Amino acid sequence: MTIATVGVVGLGNMGLGMAATLARKGFTVLGYDLSPVRRPAAEAAGVTTLNTLNEVLQAADALVFSLPLARDVEAVVTAEGGLLSRTDRKVVVVDTSTSDPGTTRRLAERLAAAGHALLDAPVSGGPSGAAEGTLTMMVGGAEADYALARPVLEAMSARAPHVGPSGAGNIVKLVNNLLVAAHLVTTGEALRLSEAAGLSADEAVKVVNTATGRSAISEVMVPRWVQSGTFDSGFSAGLMRKDVRLALELAAECGIDLPLSAEVKRIWQATQDAIPDTADFTRMADYRDPKGAH
């Protein structure tokens, strides 16, 4: 079953880049976003934007979702007169949103009953990775559905491993982002220690990046967005707070205690006034509490 036309629902920082990449790779791409202001940029990138969600859901051979919350994904999947009512072919939904495994599994079952499929395929790599087709995708779902969607996955990513059954991609993404949230806190604190002790953060991070304390935060995010002062990675503090919350909710569902991660969640919540949800999440590495605590 070939895939020639891909519908992209959600044309924000990530969705627009993925839609443009798919168009550049030879797919016919249909796009939809609640905000009409996203349409000109999408059209300029070779994406045909449609006026209603159901037009996309009814016309595409495969769908890519890039949405903020699990409830948004559910609303699109269950839209009246949309995908669940299609009987002309099997449609694979590639959901790149960061969602919770429970919602994904429930929606996957509902789509399967209607003859369709859902892959949870959250991504890492930011808007630049989406625009360049170099994302890392973490894909959960049935192996046969993964194989069917492979041309779409390969067009958008440098790596798109199948990590397990439905929900597995969500689990890996939550684990990843929990680590990122913690690393932003610890890297920021470590560099402030260096400065307080008399060594510039710039000099310290150069050495750290050749030693065992390095991470994607110190190697990429600090030089690119923190030391430069641009803070424009394209990922918001509000989305990171959401991902940390989902990770801790998953831990509670599993009956495990994660005390350090709980403290990371507390810090992200406590800094909401200084680093609002609309701010870039990399500002956490530069945060300095005037009260002296983190």
Q: Cα–Cα–Cα angle for 42, 172, 244, nearest 5°?
A: 80
Cβ-based burial of 273 (10 A; exposed 0-12, middle 13-18, buried ≥19): exposed
90 is catalytic: no
d(CA 16, CA 230): 22
User: How buried is 221 (Cβ within 10 angstroms: 0-12 exposed, 13-18 middle, 19+ buried)?
Assistant: buried
Strand ranges across the sheet with 5-9: 48-49, 28-32, 5-9, 62-65, 92-95, 117-120, 139-140, 162-164
Count the helices and strands in the chain (H runs, E runs): 12, 11
> Tell me, what DSSP letter sits at residue 37?
G
Report d(CA 259, CA 237) in Å as an integer.
Answer: 21
User: Catalytic pick from 173, 206, 265, 291?
Assistant: 173
- Cα–Cα distance, 98 to 83 (Å, whole number): 21
- Catalytic residue set: 173
